[in-house]
Amino acid sequence: MSKQLTAEIPLIKIDNYRWEIPTSYQSGMRVPGLIFADQKILSAIRHDPCLQQVANVATLPGIVRASMAMPDIHWGYGFPIGGVAATDPNAGGVISPGGVGYDINCGVRLCRTNFQYDEIQSRMKELVGTLFDQIPCGVGGSGDIHVSAKEEREVMLHGAGWAVKKGYGVAEDVEHCEARGSIEGADPSKTSERARERGANQLGTLGSGNHFLEVQVVDQIYDEHAAGVMGLELGQVTVMIHSGSRGFGYQVCEDFLEVTRQALTKYDIEVPDRQLASAPIYSPEGQAYLGAMRCAANYAWANRQCLLHLARGVFERVFKMGWQKIGMDLIYDVAHNIAKFETYEVDGKQKILCIHRKGATRAFGPNHIELPEKYREIGQPVIIPGDMGRNSYVLVGTRGSDETFGSSCHGAGRMMSRAAAVKMMRGRSVEKELAEKGVIARGRGRHALEEEHPQAYKDVNEVVDVVDHAGIAKRVARMRPVGVIKG
């Protein structure tokens, strides 16, 4: 589907935070579209192609309940970014690479510290400069953590667990990752030689685009109890890392888009947009993609674990004490470009469904069996990064998230393309403007900061307000940026 404005799409208001695209809108829609947005966000996306993509996803074989979009929705490849779709493998359900995205298991992790910001404010320039020098970032960037072909296979199979075994973290880090930092069923034999080549030297690298490492300070607490469980308090310094599977995951997606395009014809699957290339979950093509996708997801968890290890090392170097004494414990790590099999009640029956989360974060509520014991009572930490000039959030999932198949938004959501963002910033200095707000920013690429300036994004405060009021996830704490490095 080309990125062009679509005809007026009828929207039925369900309540102040839910809007429906009826199945009558487009031939072939098997379920309605469901958009989570308030009036202001809806006005901003009303004529955006992303709403057409919501309707298109609703035509996928085996889709259950609704084609959903979170309030950070924007145009993507096939699926909108901010899209959620569940398909039933036992009802001809399909798996779609476009429903996961190119950066498989792009995700975010949040780490606490024992520092109060006023204790280290005078050292921030040194800290950010050292992070920028020591943590590889940028397009095609490579790092110092190289793996042999045998070790790369272990990365694909064991994810964050491999990194911890190599000494790049501790067992508690794995416990505080979604899926404990790896998915079973990864099949390295389904990945291409090109994908493996691209992944051999990119562990422990941020990459480019919207990926970042950010030093933050907690500036608001909404839920004292949940914040206490996470070890968060006002004025505290935190570290947020946003990265994914780098070139390895990109190549996996590229490889299987061609495979699934051919599967459309082979299995007589009709879709309104070829970017929704899909294969039945139980087909050889579907199983091959799942095996390769899980390898990339595990690679991403290993990558973020390596990045945390490097960040801990920088804090040790700057502050001349061990990271354990600094209190750099991982709060949680969540994926937001992934497909996973989870159990939900549909029409009164328990079903195992394939949940596509494309720019959407898992948000399990309290007492879910997959949560670590530490978070069983309060629900899963849901980490929502904002932009360099505003703030980010940590929330917890609620039982209300069952409506969205345990999913929430994943960030602020872009408002303009990177090219448009660079054009808007012509003659201005993002670094200087951020410094005036108290944020020290360093970017590797020529336009790294311009592409990601705050005006390129929706206001994350408004996006989070929607998911909070809709009952999908509940605010716990807000963090404002004080230092950031980008590719």
Which residues form the catalytic set? Answer: 410
Q: Does an H or E element contain 4, and which?
A: none
**268 φ/ψ sector (left φ>0, alpha ψ -120 to 50, else beta):** left
> What is the residue type of 125?
K
3-state secondary structure 366-403: CCCCCCCHHHCCCCCEEEECCCCCCCEEEEEECHHHHH
DSSP 332: E
> What is the residue type of 301?
W
CA 172, CA 336: separation in Å to the nearest integer? Answer: 21
CA 444, CA 420: separation in Å to the nearest integer? Answer: 19
**Strand stretches in 210-368, DSSP E:** 212-221, 236-243, 279-280, 330-335, 337-346, 349-358, 361-362
Cα separations in angstroms, 292 against 156, 221, 417: 9, 40, 30
Contacts 24+ apart (CB under 8 A), 148-156: 149/196, 149/200, 152/196, 152/199, 152/200, 153/188, 155/199, 155/203, 155/298, 155/299, 155/302, 156/186, 156/188, 156/191, 156/295, 156/296, 156/298, 156/299
CA 38, CA 466: separation in Å to the nearest integer? Answer: 6
Structure tokens at 339: 């497909």
Asked if residue 333 lies in contact with residue 159, where contact means CB atoms within 8 angstroms, the answer is: no
Asked if residue 228 lies in contact with residue 373, where contact means CB atoms within 8 angstroms, the answer is: no
The angle formed by the CA atoms of residues 323, 314 and 329, to the nearest 5 degrees, is 30
The angle formed by the CA atoms of residues 45, 463 and 386, to the nearest 5 degrees, is 110
